[in-house]
Chains A and B, each alone.
Chain A
Amino acid sequence: MRALRLYLVQRVTAAIMAPLVFLHLGLILYAVQGGLSAGEILSRTQGSFFWAFIYGLFVLCASFHVSIGLTNILQEWTSLKRIAAANIAHTFGMGVMILGFRAVYAVVF
């Protein structure tokens, strides 16, 4: 039931990401009211485990979500076999995860 498990992981990660996106957008609307500067952003995020958790969770979900989705897209839109498509997509997903966690680390620590 690999197909079903992948389907579930993709739906669950999407369900987690949706409210996080709204939280992020809400934060932007709130934050820009007094002007937006790097210092202001960092003052809010640095040392905050809450924001580290929120954005870390988003990075984790996004990397899994994009790996599964990109595998499907590559398999359906190109002549790549499933294994080749999965390898490319998982490599891309790993890149998203590494860059994402690096960004989270940079603004929190």
Chain B
Amino acid sequence: MTTTHKVSIWRGGAEGDYAHYDVPARESQTVLDVVTYVQRHLDPTLTYRFACRVGMCGSCAMTVNGVPRWTCRTHVSKVTGGGELKIGPLANMPVIKDLACDMTEFFEKWQKAQSRFIPTKTRKNPMEPIKPDTPARVAANAGIECINCGVCYAACDTVRWNADYLGPAALNRAWTLANDERDGGWADRLKAVSDHGGCHSCRSHQSCEAHCPNQLNPAASIAGLKRLSTSAYLKGELK
């Protein structure tokens, strides 16, 4: 006898409701498998995002039973406890339709934080050796595996409360660049992350760390930025 999961999935945009589906249970079934089954067998109008299915692309994040998660690496058995499965779009972003939310602001804030690599060398320069064990490189390495999934942004109370807050992902990226000796964009980035909505807006609730699927700690990165920013200000480097 085939057992089924009782599944509720958000349908609609900002206004909408949860629709209910019965999805056959499978071994090692992920939440993304469940959503895909619904679209392919029960309702082809269901909208959602995914790409790699192996936890690398950051496309498939959704709210699963109230918690933001990457759905391709989340097994149903681990989140339902035998009960129902409730799947919605990520919080803190406008819903486009069903499970797809608009990540424009998330990525615009990434740019606003100047969180892009500014090279200091050209291709004509010789390759610069980077020692892997310097404190700065170790700090950078601790934060570089971000896949831009938006889980931390959806989990963050400060993002929900403060529309100007740049968010954990953008600030985590700023921190990795601050510790990258090849980068030359620190002066502008320091201003961007120190201003209103920057690192000093973080309330250190650490939801980003609790929910990051890659076990990164953006809260620690933001704390690092606070120290750098404060130190720069006290030295007169930040007007």
Contacts and interface: CB of A to CB of B under 8 A. Distances in A.
A76 B238 contact: no
Contact of B230 (A2, A6, A8, A76): A8
Nearest to A76: B161
Interface string B150-182: 000000001001100000000000000000000
Nearest to B158: A76
Interface in B191-239: 191, 194-198, 200-201, 226, 229-230, 233, 238-239
Interface string A1-33: 111111110000000000000000000000000
A4 B162 contact: no
B162 A1 contact: no
A73 to B, nearest CB: 9
Contact of A3 (B161, B196, B239): B196
Contacts, number: 34
B162 A7 contact: no
B202 to A, nearest CB: 10
Contact of A4 (B158, B161, B238): B238
A8 B233 CA distance: 10
A45 interface: no
Nearest to A82: B196
A81 to B, nearest CB: 11
A4 B233 CA distance: 8
B162 A3 contact: no
Contacts of B239: 1
B162 A75 contact: yes
Contacts of B196: 2-3
A50 interface: no
Contact of A76 (B162, B195, B229): B162
Nearest to A5: B233
6 contacts: A1-B191, A1-B233, A1-B238, A7-B200, A8-B230, A75-B162
Interface of B: 158, 161-162, 191, 194-198, 200-201, 226, 229-230, 233, 238-239
The 7 A-B residue pairs with the shortest CB-CB distance, nearest first, are A76-B161, A7-B200, A3-B196, A4-B194, A3-B200, A76-B162, A4-B233
